[in-house]
Amino acid sequence: MGAPMAGHLIKAGYKLRIFSRTRAKVEPLLAAGAEWADSPAAAAEGADVAFAMVAFPKDVEEVFLGSKGFLAAKHPPKIVVDMGTSPPGLTRRIAEAAAPKGVGALDAPVSGGDIGARNATLSIMVGGEVRDFEAVKPLFECLGKTIVHQGPAGAGQLCKMVNQILVANSMVGACEAMVAAKATGLDPERMLQSVSTGAAGSWTLSNLVPRMLRGDWAPGFHAALLAKDLQIAVDEMKAVGHALPGLEVTERLYRRLDELGHGGMGTQGLLKVWAEVLGEQKLP
CATH T-level topology, domain 2-152: Rossmann fold (3.40.50)
- Give the chain's mean pLDDT: 96
- The residues, any chain, with a CB within 8 Å of residue 136's CB and separated by 6 or more, are 49, 79, 81, 106, 108
Distance CA 160, CA 233 (A): 9
Angle between helices 271-278 and 245-257 (to 10 degrees): 80
Helix H or strand E encompassing 107: strand 104-107
**157-172 residue pLDDT tens:** 999 999 999 999 999 9
DSSP secondary structure letter of residue 153 = T
Distances (CA, A) of 110 to 82, 146, 236, 280: 10, 10, 19, 33
**237-279 residue pLDDT tens:** 999 999 999 999 999 999 999 999 999 999 999 999 999 999 9
Q: What homologous superfamily is domain 158-282 in, according to CATH?
A: N-(1-d-carboxylethyl)-l-norvaline Dehydrogenase; domain 2 (1.10.1040.10)
Distance CA 136, CA 104 (A): 10
Note whether 132 and 107 are within 8 A (CB). no
Residue among 74, 78, 160, 228 flagged as catalytic: 160
- The residues, any chain, with a CB within 8 Å of residue 111's CB and separated by 6 or more, are 122, 123, 125, 160, 163, 167
Note whether 104 and 79 are within 8 A (CB). yes
Distances (CA, A) of 269 to 139, 264, 273: 33, 9, 8
Q: What is the mean pLDDT of residues 166-190?
A: 96
Predicted structure pTM score: 0.93
Residue type, 196: S
Q: What is the mean pLDDT of residues 47-54?
A: 97
Taking residue 77's Cβ as centre, other Cβ atoms within 10 Å add up to 23
Q: Residue 220: what pLDDT? A: 87
Note whether 60 and 90 are within 8 A (CB). yes
Residue type, 264: G
Distances (CA, A) of 37 to 4, 24, 46, 68: 18, 13, 13, 11
Residue 172 DSSP SS3? helix
The structural domains of the chain, with segments of one domain joined by +, span: 2-152, 158-282
Q: How confident is the model at residue 51 (pLDDT cuts 50, 70, 90)?
A: very high
Q: 253-266 burial string, b = 16+ CB within 10 Å, else e?
A: bbbebbeeebbebb
Residue type, 195: V
**60-70 residue pLDDT tens:** 999 999 999 99
160 is catalytic: yes
